[in-house]
Structure 1
Amino acid sequence: MGRGAVAYDCDVLVVGGGIVGLATAYALTRAAPGTRVTVLEKERGPARHQTGRNSGVIHSGIYYRPGSLKARYAVRGAAEMVKFCAEYGIPHEVTGKLIVATDRAELPRLHALVQRGRENGIPVRELGPAQIAEYEPCVEGLAAIHVGTTGICDYGAVAAQLARASGVEVRYGAEVVRVDRRADLGVAVRTASGDVVRGKVLVNCAGLHCDRVARLTGDDPGMRIVPFRGEYFTLARPGLVRGLVYPVPDPAFPFLGVHLTRGVDGGVHVGPNAVPALAREGYGWSVVHPRELAGTFAWPGAWRMAREHWRYGAGELRRSLSKGAFTDAVRRLLPAVRAEDLLPASAGVRAQAVLRDGTLVDDFLIREGARAVHILNAPSPAATASLPIGREVARRVLAAL
Structure 2
Amino acid sequence: MSIHIERTGGPSDLPAAFAHFVVHHLHGLSLDDNKDEEAKRGKFPDFACYRDLVLIEMKHLETEQNERINETYKGRVPADEVPFFYGKRRLDLNQFSNGREIASAIVSKLARTLETHLSKANDQFEGYRRRNPRKNSVSICLLLNSKIDEFSPDVVIYAVQQKLRQPSPQGVRFPDIDAVLYISEKHAQKLPDGRIAFAIAHIVCAPAIEQYWKIAIVDRILQRWSEFRTGGAAVSGRPDGFASVVDVSPQMPPHEAWKLAYRRNPHLRPLTNRQLMVHFHHCVGFSALLSHGSWTMPSQEEHLGYVRSFGDAIEEINHRGIDLRQFTPEGLTPQERATGSPPSSRPGTRVRR
State the TM-score, normalizing by the size of structure 1.
Answer: 0.21
Larger strand share, 1 or 2: 1
Larger helix share, 1 or 2: 2
Higher relative contact order (CA 8 A, sep 6+): 1
Larger Rg: 2
